[in-house]
Amino acid sequence: MAHRPPAPSLSAYGEACLTTSPVNRMMADFAVDFRDDVDINLGVGYVNEATLPRDGVRQGLDAVLQDPDHYRAALNYGGPTGSRNLLDSLRRWYLRHGPAGVDEGLLDTRHLLIGPNGATSLLESFSLLLELGIVFVADPLYYIYCDVLQRAGFELIAIPEDDEGLSAEGLRRAIDELGERARKIRFVYVVTVHNPTGTVMTNRRRTQIVDIVSDLSRRLDRQIPLLSDRAYEDLIHDDSLERPRSMMADDEIGIVYEIGTVSKTMAPALRIGFVFAPPGPLIGALAQRTSDAGFSAPLINQEISSWLLDHLIDEQVQSVNDGYRHKARCVGQWLHDRLGPHLQAVTGGQAGFYYYLTFAETTTTIGSAFSRYLSRTTGQVEIDGPLHQRHPRVVYIPGEFCVHPHGQLAEVGQRQLRLSYGFEELGQLDAAIGFMAEACAWSSSLY
């Protein structure tokens, strides 16, 4: 037998990638024998299939292919900053329906760039282009991007949320406590409609955070980027909330990078993410990184997205938000009626498609009684069902995966979970909350 040489040496990042994230492991295990229309997935952050504009995408594709003069070379490679048509469409959309505080004059001071593969690819690019060091994030945290940052080698400092978003006082205090280590701060990352908690950051808090990071930049005598991720901001469906204000509107020194996507309002498969960025070396590096990652997002997708933004987006956003508003109200009522006695706190339900639950006593970690009941692994046939026909299983994201393991919320995270009401239909959501109530009761009976 020929000698087989050892495997190639991996970079530090490559070595880190050998350890898959806990959420990926959990979802992969669950997907192996997932039964459609039987098992219930409250874990995935997928949009609801009924919201996807299939006819609109078909019309957009036809329109793009039938007008090669306007949609030039749509089946070819694109440029690293994005399709001119899409850039113009996004600008018009932002001025019409984007956050408050945005006007022509403000956008004239910014560069607009399309990422190579959705908003996540832009976030990853920041992790590659900025020097390693300290990043401030909210706690509970957006675990997908925070896992990326940690694999890349960044040190995360997680600031607990309050009901207005990432705590301004907590951020100030954390900066002060760093002392001389503050020079290692690289950027601040906020999600304006937070994932996993669903907390909608108030305009007051947005202004406070811009002011804090601006003051920090002046103190350190270098710009500290403030990444404002507004992925769910077009899905604010609680009409009682104030219109969100762009963090760019309060940015006097060029530190705010506002990141958006059409994935939640139109279709994730289009893979369109964008960033409004101040002039400077970082936006140039982002453009080159986009080119390195594959020249551009698929040009045909960009042109279809441009057509959708120009022709269907208003009715599409209205329809999507009407649907999620109805689901949020139904799920919120079921949570109150069936889980109310077991719950300590509930956030979310005003935007996007998440509720974040904190239980008074029930532990939600993988392997807990609650988890075993819902995964039908208790070993009791009356709960699990027979081997060949298990009772419906319910998957959720445990709070232990959503909080910083060494942060202030590590303990309470053991009693939390994220529930997505986006993907499943109301009948499945209704059933799942009933199963959760049963799981709480069974868990309590063991102690």
pLDDT in tens, the chain (447 residues): 788 888 899 998 888 888 888 777 776 766 678 888 899 999 988 888 888 999 999 999 999 999 999 999 999 988 889 999 999 999 999 999 999 999 999 999 999 999 998 899 999 999 999 999 999 999 999 988 999 999 999 999 999 999 999 999 999 999 999 999 999 999 999 999 999 999 999 999 999 999 999 999 999 999 999 999 999 999 999 999 999 999 999 999 999 999 999 989 999 999 999 999 999 999 999 999 999 988 889 999 999 999 999 999 999 999 999 999 999 999 999 999 999 999 999 999 999 999 999 999 999 999 999 999 999 999 999 999 998 899 999 999 999 999 999 999 999 999 999 999 999 999 999 999 999 999 999 999 987
pLDDT score of 27: 67
- Which CATH number does 13-51+316-445 carry? 3.90.1150.10
306 vs 92, 270, 300, CA distance in Å? 10, 11, 10
Residue 302, Cα to own-chain centre: how many angstroms? 21
pLDDT score of 7: 87
- 296 vs 80: CA distance, rounded Å: 5
State the fold for domain 55-315. Answer: Aspartate Aminotransferase; domain 2 (3.40.640)
Question: pTM for the complete prediction?
Answer: 0.94
pLDDT score of 164: 97
Q: Which residues are 41's β-sheet partners?
A: 395
Q: Cβ neighbours of residue 250 under 8 Å, at least 6 residues apart? A: 101, 206, 207, 210, 211
Residue-range domain boundaries for the chain: 13-51+316-445, 55-315
Q: Other C-beta atoms within 10 Å of 6: how many?
A: 5
